[in-house]
Amino acid sequence: MITLGEYIIEKQHQFPEATGELTQLLGAIRLASKVVNREINKAGLVDIIGSTGLENVQGEVQQKLDLYANEKFKAALEARGEVCGIASEEEDEFVAFDSERGKNSKYVVLIDPLDGSSNIDVNVSVGTIFSIYRRISEQGESVQERDFLQPGREQVAAGYVVYGSSTMLVYTTGHGVHGFTCDPSLGVFYLSHENMSLPKAGSMYSINEGNYLKFPQGVKKYLKFCQEIDPPTQRPYTSRYIGSLVSDFHRNLLKGGIYIYPSTASAPTGKLRLLYECNPMAFLAEQAGGKASDGFTRIMDIEPQELHQRVPFFCGSSDMVDKAESMMREYSPEDAPK
């Protein structure tokens, strides 16, 4: 079996300009994920679960493991010296690594350190999402906000770690999507899913239907379509919603389906973050043969305006996303971009 480290080194030739930095950077993410996984597996045995009583910049209550994961990923990325700064869902502003080596580094990382952390208390799978860009400011200077406000199409790499019944790290560098499963007895990630592919047509949809009354009309129409009886198209589709983006996306990646987190009356711009969640998942989806959209526009073509920008999110099997987009345009013309 080939390990994650061996696989990354083997594929280094795909990035001759990186001269090993990208390999080291992914190694730092691998290391931090193992540390976070260890603590997640101790949840309930030590004082690591529950709320801190603090709120992040989005006004959401932070969990203890949110802050723990954030600190571990930040420390691991700074220690390797291949990153000039990070932006995190748990930080109000971006964090610059201003050592001499940090200033001369080529890459920035955007990260959701612990997606779905509110599920920790009830033993539901959670994850980490990361996105890597090449800086656009001059090397040798402190990182700037514009280095992070790049459209998703400029990503160098993206991926996630899902902490579930097994721990898996899934990533892309623009050359397919590859998954590695951690052997808990050794703490080593081994290649288990090479060149992962999203089925063109799926039979599952993932959405919080409890918000149905707040959805745009196009989303309501699409849900009715999913629930109609039509055996030739495998409808009605199966509804599967975990409430952890990483877990829902991972299931759909393996089996085919669509994940939807639309705008609502109470969240007119959506809830998911463009930079920390939607762009990396969109990159993975497209590399696996799927699609990602805000209902009208390709996610990776959206020009970010702020670090914590939110957008509606439709992601998964290409045929399903196409159908959802068509209904958004047909039934919700008032929601379409002007």
Binding positions for Mg(2+) are: 89, 112, 114-115, 277
Residue with tokens 């013309």: 333
AA letter at 50:
G
Residue numbering of the annotated binding site: 89, 112, 114-118, 208, 241, 271, 277
Name the DSSP class of 200. Answer: S
Q: What is the distance between the alpha carbons of residues 201 and 199, in angstroms, rounded to a whole number?
A: 5
Q: What is the distance between the alpha carbons of residues 131 and 94, in angstroms, rounded to a whole number?
A: 14
Residue numbering of the annotated binding site for substrate: 115-118, 208, 241, 271
Q: What is the distance between the alpha carbons of residues 214 and 55, in angstroms, rounded to a whole number?
A: 25
Q: Residue 296's CB: how many other CB atoms inside 10 A? A: 15
Which residue from 138, 137, 117 is spatially nearest to 128, judged by alpha carbons? 117
For 102, the 3-state DSSP assignment is: helix
Q: What is the distance between the alpha carbons of residues 133 and 300, in angstroms, rounded to a whole number?
A: 13
Which residue from 310, 260, 304, 328 is spatially nearest to 153, judged by alpha carbons? 304
Whether the Cβ atoms of residue 261 and residue 116 lie closer than 8 Å to each other:
no
- Measured between its terminal Cα atoms, the distance across the chain in Å is 52
